[in-house]
Structures are given as structure tokens and as C-alpha cells.
Amino acid sequence: MINYIVRRLFILPLVLFGLSILIFGMLMALNPIERAALYITSIPRNPEAIQAVIDKYGLNKPIYVQYWNWLDKVFHGDLGWSKTAGMPVVQAIKTYFPATLELALWSFIPIIVIGTWLGIQAAIHHDQFIDQAARVFSIVGYSFPTFVFGLLVLMIFYANLRWFPPGRLSDWASAIVYSPAFHQYTGMNTVDALLNLRLDIFVDALRHLFLPALTLSYVSWALILRVARSSMLEVIQQDYIRAARAKGAPERRVINHHARPNAMIPVATIGGLLLVGLLNGVVITETVFNYHGMGLFAATAALNFDAVSILGVALLAGVLLVFANLVVDVLYSYLDPRIRLK
Amino acid sequence: MDDTATQKTFQAEIYAEPMPPRERVPRWVKALVRNPVSIAGTLLVIFFIVLAILAPVLAPPPIPSLPYQIPRDGFEAEPKPPGPGEPLGTTQGQYDIYYGIIWGTRTAFKIGLIVTGVTVLIGGTLGAVSGYVGGWVDDVIQRIVEVFLAFPFLLAALTLATILGGKIQNGLITGMIALIAFGWPTYARLIRGDVLSVKEREYVLAAKALGEPGWRILMRHVVPNAMYSLLVVASLDVGTYVLTFAALSFLGLGAGVGYADWGQLLSFARNWIPTLNSYWWIVVYPGLALLLFVLAFNLIGDAFRDALDPKMGGFRG
């Protein structure tokens, strides 16, 4: 076990190095003037001043020198100036990340709960109506373009029924949240509202979160459902389940007590994939719902050809994913001893 | 008999040896043909192919040299409901939705086929070399694959499209390059596994013993036998690529304004969200086209996965 973790940790710097090379490589595809945004907040208009900036920051030095300079800045928490947000990229990410985290957390719970429940029901009723229905639901789910789904729910629940508005907060609520009386502990509105004992703001934040969380999770239910179903199908064919049935254990107990814990192993370890889905999903979902988080920041930056900002987000997403995969692998080998022995 | 002659006879014997007897129609093909899910998917794909072929008949372009430019009926912002002349209505800027959907089918196939084709070529080549050569080449390529897979696909494509956007004005091309750049690693990994198993087979050893050069063994014996699952997986990924490209267009990075592309048509809806219920046709029709297209490929893919999965024991009935 320890051996396995050590081996995985050994590869980690290698992958992170590759990641930095890839990001830096994309950065180098920009011309020196565009890359100046890494160092200064506004690019001067006259050509000599531009040249002075290029010379000063060594933007036409050999590639390995530039790579080193860049890496040095990254390690010191400097990813350049974001013209989209009008602040340093790192600060912009700090501002927007809690919003995205909040959305992801609120999507995560229904994904796991509903996804596994549906998957297990489908497996227990293999090839019966529930299984077929769950299957259609799941295929349609992962075929549904996130933005079409988002626009449709907005059409029904906002434009028509006025139940769930887009954005993050209503005007009255954001006036309170951004006033000095309200202490922002985490940047996540639902959590902060509870900590400030403002139930009205909590409800308002939840109303704004409902549709984007639904949109973000709908596509991922399909994934969890599928994994839970096939893993459960495999488990209930095992000998020890037959043994449990043979000794007369009630079916309910066989499913809940003997089969489900083992069937949950692949579900528990699918976190890495789920995170990819969520990170992809937030770009579209936050854009459709005008929800000010990292995804919308990335999409807006893309439209402004603000490469420095979007590369910052990509770097963060890449690093997050690498660590998530590490955790998932270790968790997997912990939950399923067979993996370790290989 | 001298050595070359022996070798010739031996070679002739190997090549003359008939294929091992196998079922004429494999069981999983039978399962696939009988499965209603895959039939529905296939019918949908055929429907879209017909739509794409008949595009000039169904929606004759007003300017024959620019068929992908959606015709406009005026310049007002407010979308017009379905009516005579525009059977599915117009979207913002009076772009004809019906025309956009019909010619958008061609765009979808174009994007899907080009991206899949190039991705398979790059991923397949690198993966095959990686698996066949092995050693440090394999290590290097696999680490590169890992790095590329460390990015969420859409975010990675968005990033690259942004960077290329400053250089290449054609959003169609930047979008496709972005999808290809981050799409190949999956295929490289897939074919590598198959190459690893195929290269241990007797016929490859025989070819080696005959002294055939490495690249020739790879191209003639290994790749043709290992690319099977790659081709299946890739052809079903057409839907995913079209979906991701549509997402890029929706965000404003793929196809330009007025180009017959479903994602681009849908992007207009972003400006009408508070009153979307009065303009439902600007979301429902292009959204349905995109959903059905992606669904078609996923339906076939789903049936394939079950049919090829020995654990599921094929399909019942």
C-alpha cells in the first residue's frame, strides 16, 4: 500500500512538469506583445514603449530562460494580469473559485444520491421496465447538450414560471451580502448566509443555485447510474451473494448488506471522472445562467482573446485533476485490495 | 533447395494458409442487428445523412457559392415565429432557423468526420508506435498522453481555440484544431493496448522470423489487426465531437455569426433568456437537431458496448 502510494507520488512531479510545459507551450504560441500581459497591466500604444517592455521582461530571450522566469512567477503566485477581470489572474481565480465550488458541491450531492439509487434499482430489476427506463434516461442524459438543457429549464422555470432566476443572488440580497454588516467567511453564499444567520439570504442563494445545479448534475447522473448499474450487476452474480441467498438471507438484506457495499467501490472512486465532468460543465452552465464563477470567467476571457486569464484557469484545472486522480487511485487501491497486488 | 527458395515456400505456405474458421456472422453483430436501441440509432444517423445530402433540395441556397451563409429576412433583432417562408421561424437578426438546421447537418458531419479522422490518424499512429516499439519511446509517449488527459476536454479546447483565435480568423478551423489537439490521447492509449496483445501473436513472430522490416510488420500485420476497436470507438465519438464543437460555437469561438451551425444558432438564445418562453422556437428546433444527432451516435455506441461486453452475455431475445 505504502509502496504503491510512493510510486504514484514519484510520477506526480513528472506529470506536473509536463502540465507546465504544455501550458507554457500554449503561452509561447502568443506573440511577445500579447505575452506582455503576464507582466504589465496595460500595454502601451507606442511601438518603442512596447519594445521596452519586451526587452525589460526578456520576452524574446531563449525559450528555456523564459520558461524558468515563467515558472518562477507561477510558484510565487503570479499568473499575470487579467484584462477580463481587471485584476491579477490569481486574484480573479480567488474571487470566482468559491462560487464554482459552491455550485459543484450542490450538484455533487444529487449526482451521487440519485445516480447510485437509480443505478442499483436498474441492476436489481435487470432487463425489466425500470432498467430500460433508466437506460433511456441515461443515454438521453449524456447526449443532452448542457447548454440546450440549461436554456430549456430557464425557458420553463424562469421565463415562464418565474420560480428560479439566473445569476447568483437577487439585487436586494447581494446588497446585503456585499455590505460590511455581512461577513463573508467562505465566499460561498449558502454557507455564509447560514454562518451570518440570514435564512432569507440562504433561501435566495438556493433559489439561484437550483437550476444550474440541476443542469450540471443531470449530465453526470448518467455516468454514475451506468457505473453503479454495471458494478451492481457484476456483484450480484458473485458466489458469495448466491451463498447469502442459499442460507436464506432475506433479499433486502442481501442487496443492502452484502451486495451494495462492494458495488459502491467503483462509484466511490469515480470522483476523478466526475470532476472532469463538473469542470467541463461549469464553463457552459455558468455562461447560460450568468453565474459569476470560474467557468463564466474562462468563457468571457475566451471571447476577449484574453489568453493569460484562460491559461490560468486551465493550469488550475489541470493541477486539480492530477491531484484528484492521485487521490482516486490511492482510494481505489485501499478499497479494492486486488488492485494493489498487481 | 537453397535458403531463399525454402523461405519462399515457407512464406507461400504462411500466406496461403486459410483464415481460421470462424462464425460467418459474429454473435455480437447478430445481437446488434436485433437490438431496438441500435436500430433506432442507425435510423437516426441515416435520417441525418439523407438530410445532409438533400440539403440543396430541401433548402436551396439563395447565393449558390455561399451555401453555408444563412439567409436573413431583414435585420430586426426580434425573432419571428414560424410562418410562411420560414417554417421554423427566424432567430435574432432574422436568420432562417430551418435553413440553418438543414445546412447545419452538413456542418455537423463535416466537423465530426474531419475531427474524428485526423484524431484517429494521429492518435492511432502514436499509439501503435508506442505499443510496438516499447521501451523509452513507449514511456515518453505515454507520459505525454497522461499530460494531455490531465485537462478537462472542453476547457482545454476552449483555451487552445482562444490562443489560435488571434492567429487564424476562421473559427471553424481553430475549433477543429483545438478538438484534435486534445482528442488524440484517448485513441493513442486505446490502440496501444491492442497492439501490445497483437504483437505477441504467432503470425507476427513468423513475420519477424522471416526478417521483414519492423515498419512493414507494424503496417501490414499489427495495425490492421489492432485497429478494430479503435475504429468502432472513434466512429461513435463523432457525436461527442460535434457536441463539443457546438459548445465552442455557443460560447462564441467556433463557427462565426450567420454560419449554418447548430451551436452558433443556439448562441443567439442567450440574449433572450428573460422572455425565452415567447421565443421558444429559437431554442427548441436547433436544440432538438443537436440532441438527436448526438443521441443517434450514443444509441449505437450504447448497444455496441453491451454487445461486446462478455459480462453482460449479449442481449436477450
State the nearest Cα–Cα gap between B91 and chain A, in angstroms. Answer: 15
Task: Report the distance separating Cα B215 and Cα B226, nearest Å.
Answer: 15
Select from A19, A158, A314 the Cβ nearest to the Cβ of B159.
A314
Cβ-Cβ contacts under 8 Å, B150 against chain A:
15, 18-19, 318, 321-322, 325
Q: Rounded to whole angstroms, how far apart are CA atoms A84 and A301?
A: 6
pLDDT score at A192: 87
List, as ranges, residues 282-301 from B with C-beta within 8 Å of A.
283-284, 287, 290-291, 294-295, 298-299
Per-residue pLDDT tens digits for A267-286:
877 766 787 778 778 899 99
pTM of the model: 0.86
Record: contact A22-B246, CB cut-off 8 A: no
The residues, ordered by sequence, that sit 6+ positions from B295 with a Cβ below 8 Å of its Cβ are A139, A140, A143, B41, B44, B239
Asked if B47 has any chain A CB less than 8 Å from its own CB, the reply is: no
- In whole numbers, what is the pLDDT of chain A averaged over residues? 85
Q: Is B168 on the interface with A (CB under 8 A)?
A: no
Q: Do B283 and A310 touch (CB under 8 A)?
A: no
CA-CA distances (angstroms) from residue B123 to B19, B96, B198, B311? 29, 39, 18, 28
Q: Mean of the pLDDT values across residues B150-173?
A: 85
Residue-level pLDDT at B314: 37
Q: Is the pLDDT of residue B311 over 70?
A: no
> In this structure, which long-range contacts are made by residues B56-60, counting pairs with CB atoms below 8 Å and at least 24 apart in sequence?
B58/B102, B59/B98, B59/B99, B59/B102, B59/B103
Sign of CA dihedral A146, A274, A261, B312: positive
pLDDT tens, residue by residue, B198-207: 888 888 888 8
The pLDDT of residue B180 is above 90: yes
C-alpha distance from residue A213 to each of A153, A203, A277, B89, B310 (Å): 11, 15, 13, 31, 36
Check residue A132 and give its pLDDT.
Answer: 84
ipTM score of complex: 0.86
CB distance B155–A302 less than 8 Å? Answer: no
Q: Is B155's CB within 8 Å of A314's CB?
A: yes
Residues B68-119 have pLDDT tens digits of: 888 888 888 888 888 887 888 888 888 899 999 999 999 999 999 999 999 9
Chain B: residue nearest A30 by CA? Answer: B163
- Given CB atoms, is B88 within the 8 Å cutoff of chain A? no
pLDDT at residue number A338: 67
